[in-house]
Amino acid sequence: MALSPPVRRFKSRPVTFIFELPTDKLTEFWNGLEKGKVYASKCKKCGRLTFPPAADCSQCLNQGIDWVDIQGEGEIETFTHIVIRPTSFMNHPTYTVAVAKMNAGVKVLAWLTGAKLGDVKVGAKVKLAAVQSEDGPSYGFTLIG
Ligand SMILES: [Zn+2]
Q: What's the confidence (pLDDT) of residue 66?
A: 96
Mean pLDDT of the chain: 92
What does the pLDDT read at residue 57? 94
Instruction: Tell me how far apart the alpha carbons of residues 72 and 70 are, in angstroms, rounded to a whole number.
Output: 6
pLDDT at residue 12 is higher than 90: no
At 93-138, the pLDDT tens digits run 999 999 999 999 999 999 999 999 899 999 999 999 999 987 789 9
Query: Domain 71-145 is of which CATH architecture?
Result: Beta Barrel (2.40)
CA of 111 to the centre of ligand 1 (A): 28
**Average pLDDT rounded to a whole number, residues 36-61:** 96
| pLDDT value of residue 90 | 86
For 32-60, give one letter per residue: b (16+ CB within 10 A) or e. bbeeebbbbbbbeeeebbbbebbeebeee
Proportion of the chain above pLDDT 70, given as a percent: 99
Residue 45, pLDDT > 70, answer yes
pLDDT, position 1: 64
**Spacing, Cα 42 to ligand 1 middle (Å):** 8
Please state the domain extents for the chain: 25-69, 71-145
Residues with CB under 5 A from ligand 1 (ion): 43, 45-46, 48, 57, 59-60, 62
**Cα(25) to centroid of ligand 1, in Å?**
16
Instruction: Measure the CA–CA gap between 36 and 56, rounded to whole angstroms.
Output: 24
Distance 46 CA to ligand 1 centre (A): 4
Please give the distance, rounded to the nearest whole angstrom, from the Cα atom of residue 65 to the centre of ligand 1.
8
Q: What is the pLDDT of residues 55-73, one digit of tens each?
A: 999 999 999 999 999 999 9
Q: Averaged over 22-50, what is the pLDDT?
A: 93
Distance (Å) from CA 23 to ligand 1 centroid: 20
Ligand 1 centre to CA of 106 (Å) is 15
